[in-house]
């Protein structure tokens, strides 16, 4: 894809997302398809040739949208609040476009240092001790999701004590995130 095509397709996709956000309140919050309905719309075998971008855009409406639970709807009240906003979508676009691999400082000084500053801001906002800051003995890592955060916490808990795994217990209510049962 040339950069000219990238621009043209990018504008089309941003317009599609904006149109979606403008109309999401009018859509049923939960998908109305039955299990297997989306799979039935997808070819059994992977394509051997690339699809035209217009066909991919059409598939968003024909294949993807019928199976979407509309988390962005103002009528959505399940699990937790929306996980996206127009500014965050643009930030994701910038991050994806840069192809940042921020695992250590040398792979992306900008991502690593911004992460450290944001974590320090969180320490301040939450009123945590200064020792939790990146400039102290504390620090941390921004996790990608609630599931990743839960998994990390459970792994740390498992390895902090010298207790056989079959003797460890996790207590959680039936309102806990689904990743707790999976990770425990």
The predicted-structure confidence for 62-75, as pLDDT tens digits, reads as follows 999 999 999 989 88
- How much of the chain exceeds pLDDT 70, in percent? 98
Average pLDDT of the residues in 97-107: 89
Shared-domain flag, residues 78 and 138: no
Q: Is 111 found in the same domain as 40? A: no
pLDDT at 10: 96
Domain boundary among 96, 131, 151: 96
Same domain, 123 and 159: yes
CATH number at residue 8: 1.20.1340.10
Instruction: Indicate whether 63 and 146 sit together in one domain.
Output: no
pLDDT above 90 for 3: yes
Mean of per-residue pLDDT scores for the chain: 89
**pLDDT of 182:** 75
pLDDT at 48: 95
Task: Indicate if 131 and 153 belong to the same structural domain.
Answer: yes
Whether residues 114 and 36 fall in one domain: no
> Within this chain, do residues 15 and 90 fall inside the same structural domain, yes or no?
yes
Do 60 and 143 lie in a common domain?
Answer: no
Domain boundary among the residues 39, 73, 96 is at 96
pLDDT above 90 for 49: yes
Whether 83 and 112 map to the same domain: the answer is no
| % of the chain with per-residue pLDDT over 90 | 53
**Long-range interactions of 13-21: CB distance < 8 A, separation 24+:** 13/57, 16/57, 16/60, 17/89, 18/86, 20/72, 21/72, 21/86
pLDDT at site 51? 93
pLDDT (0 to 100) of residue 5: 95
Rounded Cα distance between 119 and 72, Å, is 26
Answer yes or no: do 111 and 164 share one domain. Answer: yes
Range of the domain at 86: 3-96
Average pLDDT over residues 95-112: 90
* pLDDT for position 184: 72
- On whether both 119 and 135 belong to a single domain, the answer is yes
- Per-residue pLDDT, averaged over 120-140, amounts to 88
Model pTM above 0.85 = no
The number of folded domains in the chain is 2
Q: Tokens standing for 5?
A: 């095509």
> How would you label 81-108 residue by residue, b for 16+ Cβ within 10 Å and e otherwise?
eeeeeeeeeeeeeeeeeeeeebeeeeeb
pLDDT for the residue numbered 77: 84
pLDDT at 94 over 90: yes
Phi-psi region of 77 (alpha: psi -120 to 50; beta: other; left: phi over 0): alpha
Q: Is the same domain home to 44 and 85? A: yes
Which domain-ending residue is among 38, 70, 96?
96
pLDDT band at 79 (very low <50, low <70, confident <90, very high): confident
Residue 33, pLDDT > 90, answer yes
């Amino acid at each position: 894809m040339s950069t000219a095509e990238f621009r043209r397709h990018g504008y089309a996709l941003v317009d599609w997302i904006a149109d979606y956000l403008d109309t999401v309140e009018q859509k049923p919050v939960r998908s109305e398809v039955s299990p297997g309905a989306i799979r039935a719309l997808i070819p059994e075998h992977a394509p051997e040739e690339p699809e035209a971008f217009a066909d991919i855009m059409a598939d968003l409406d024909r294949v993807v949208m019928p199976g979407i639970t509309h988390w962005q709807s103002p009528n959505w009240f399940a699990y937790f609040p929306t996980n996206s906003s127009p500014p965050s979508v643009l930030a994701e676009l910038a991050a994806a476009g840069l192809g940042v691999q921020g695992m250590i400082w040398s792979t992306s000084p900008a991502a690593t240092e911004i992460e450290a500053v944001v974590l320090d801001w969180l320490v301040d906002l939450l009123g945590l001790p200064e020792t939790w800051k990146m400039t102290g003995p504390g620090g941390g890592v921004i996790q990608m999701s609630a599931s990743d955060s839960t998994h990390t916490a459970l792994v740390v808990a498992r390895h902090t004590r010298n207790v056989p795994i079959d003797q460890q217990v996790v207590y959680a209510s039936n309102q806990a995130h689904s990743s707790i049962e999976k990770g425990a």
